[in-house]
Amino acid sequence: MRLGKVMVVFGTRPEAIKMAPVIKELKKVADIETVVVVSAQHREMLDQVLQLFGIIPDYDLDLMKEKQDLYSITIGVLAGLKDIMEAEQPDLVLVHGDTTTTFAAALAAFYARIPVGHVEAGLRTRNKYSPYPEEMNRSLTGRLAELHFAPTDVSRENLLAESVASFKIWVTGNTVIDALIETVREGYRFDDSLQDIDLNNRLILVTTHRRENWGDHMRDIYAALLQLVEEFEDVEIVFPVHRNPTVKNLAEEMLGRRPRIHLMEPLEYETFANLMNSSYIVMTDSGGLQEEAPSLGKPVLVLRDTTERPEAIQAGTVQLVGTVQKNVYEAARRLLLDRSHYEKMAHAINPYGDGKAAIRIVEVVKDFLYVRIGAANLN
Ligand code: UD1
Ligand code: UDP
């Protein structure tokens, strides 16, 4: 029996990593037709993930422009999806997380009166401008969604507090753990492009990209990194730099051509995830890394003032350090000097999932489509 058509829409690297397991599970269900649409709000960084997981989009809006702004992404997604929704008439649209593609796609689906399923629903800081614009993107997507796939009980509680009906929420775990389990292997051999990194040293893996950190906050973070490599001779900083010129230019200006600081192009997910597994500390303002690194037992210093992911902080593996140079430097220094403090933080915890999130999500999607067919037959 044909169950219906599910359209999966996403636009950036992390969405692609976290939707890849869902697409894989959906495609196993012969009775569901799966249509993949990418906004390509990211280009090269998205394509790296599509290639790794063998995803060939049915539609590609090819939106990315250098230094694009929030208006142009929103307008491009809305305009592009209008025609695609009309042509495809999906029974359900699945979006992920909190990017501008996510919100604009959910809005486009709502305009077409098509129900929305929100994967990674219910994360909140309750601060409209931190992270910006993600907190508002995910809140608004939550308002538009019919099905809410919350990764943890904390995110479920957040949705309940916003009066989302409990029967519309499923706690599934985070699909990033599905992707990570498939990708990380003990004894992974890195290719020659990373030969400059001495894996016998203590590696600090760094990523930064948050809009609210652009400018002085990022300067402070990078200054702290400089202090750390100067003080600790057995430390190497591995920093795959986001392609955004605002980030890239500053990173090159402050950290380029320095001993034991490796600036590089974004790494493909397999290399990156395995490098995380070989790291001593992770320092990041990313969302996804706050979920992945704890499950690999790596201490994470979060270079932000707020986080929507309190679970690993509670478990002691993640510390929210902000962006003030002194605080960033001192938090990392303590981890490098104090072995017992390090051991306390470096334990593997998995509040974000058991690797079966995508299976749970697709079960709910199947039930949703069955019920729709039943309701249509009654009419
Ligand atoms: C976006 C999301 C953010 C998510 C992040 C993941 C929004 C507003 N922001 O932020 O929520 O956490 O992705 O990385 O939705 N660029 C390239 N090549 C690429 C990707 C980006 O050159 O493959 C450059 C372009 O100049 C682009 C700029 O980076 O204009 C910014 O990209 P954009 O998607 O607008 O913002 P991000 O900071 O990546
Ligand atoms: N990542 C990657 N290559 C890199 C840096 C990060 O594949 O060079 C992965 C990382 O493992 C995580 C995701 O990209 O799954 C995080 O993306 P990002 O930090 O851009 O976005 P956020 O999670 O903050 O939305």
Task: Please state the length of the chain.
Answer: 379
Distance (Å) from CA 289 to ligand 2 centroid? 7
How many CB atoms sit inside 10 A of residue 207's CB?
23
Per-residue model confidence (pLDDT) at position 120 = 98
Per-residue pLDDT tens for 52-99? 999 999 999 999 999 899 999 999 999 999 999 999 999 999 999 999
Coil, strand, or helix at residue 77? helix
Kind plus residue range of the DSSP H or E element containing 261: strand 261-264
Strands annotated E in 127-201: 147-150, 169-171
Tokens 């019919």 found at:
146
Ligand 2 pocket test, candidate residues 12, 269, 295, most atoms within 8 A of CB: 269
pLDDT in tens, 356-375: 999 999 999 999 999 988 77
Six-digit token pair at 245? 């010129």
- List, for the chain, all residue ranges whose pLDDT scores fall below the cut of 50: none
Name residue 235's amino acid. V
Sheet strands (E) in 151-260: 169-171, 202-207, 235-240
User: What is the identity of the amino acid at 205?
Assistant: L
Contact between residue 203 and residue 238 where contact means Cβ atoms under 8 Å apart: yes
Q: How far apart are CA 69 and CA 49, in angstroms?
A: 23
CATH top-level class for 4-174+354-378? Answer: alpha beta
CA-nearest of 238, 162, 173, 252 to 199 is 238
Same fold, 4-174+354-378 and 192-346: yes
Ligand nearest to the CA of 249: 1
Is the bond preceding 90 in cis, omega lying within 30 degrees of 0? Answer: no
Cα 269 to ligand 2 centre (Å): 8
Annotated catalytic residue, options 43, 60, 202, 211: 211
Look up 98 and say whether it is catalytic.
yes
> How many Cα atoms occupy the beta-carbon half-sphere of 221 within 13 Å?
28
Asked if residues 198 and 236 have their Cβ atoms less than 8 Å apart, the reply is yes
The residue nearest atom 1 of ligand 2, judged by CA position, is 269
DSSP 3-state assignment of 12?
coil
- The residue among 38, 35, 15 whose CA lies nearest residue 26 is 35
Rounded to the nearest whole angstrom, what is the distance from the C-alpha of residue 98 to the centroid of ligand 1?
12
Spatial separation of the C-alpha atoms in residues 360 and 55, rounded to whole Å: 21
Q: What's the pLDDT at 92? A: 98
Q: Reply yes or no on whether 211 is catalytic.
A: yes
The predicted structure's pLDDT at residue 376: 79
Q: Point out the ligand nearest to the CA of residue 45.
A: 1
pLDDT at 377: 77
* Annotation marks residue 217 as catalytic: no
Closest CA to 110 of 136, 64, 70, 145: 145
Please give the distance, rounded to the nearest whole angstrom, from the Cα atom of residue 222 to the centre of ligand 1: 20
Task: Give 78-106 as a DSSP string.
Answer: HHHHHHHHHHH--SEEEEETTSHHHHHHH
The pair of three-digit structure tokens given for residue 116, joined into one six-digit string: 């929305």
Going by their DSSP bridges, the two strands 147-150 and 116-119 should be labelled as parallel
User: How does strand 116-119 pair with strand 92-96?
Assistant: parallel
Q: Which ligand is nearest to the CA of 243?
A: 1
Q: Of the listed 25, 88, 120, 135, which one is catalytic?
A: 120
What is the spatial distance between Cα 244 and Cα 249, in angstroms, rounded to a whole number?
A: 8
* pLDDT, tens digit, 9 for 90 and up, residues 261-290: 999 999 999 999 999 999 999 999 999 999
Tell me the three state secondary structure of residue 29: coil
What is the architecture, at CATH level 2, of domain 192-346? 3-Layer(aba) Sandwich (3.40)
**Domain ranges within the chain, ordered by starting residue:** 4-174+354-378, 192-346
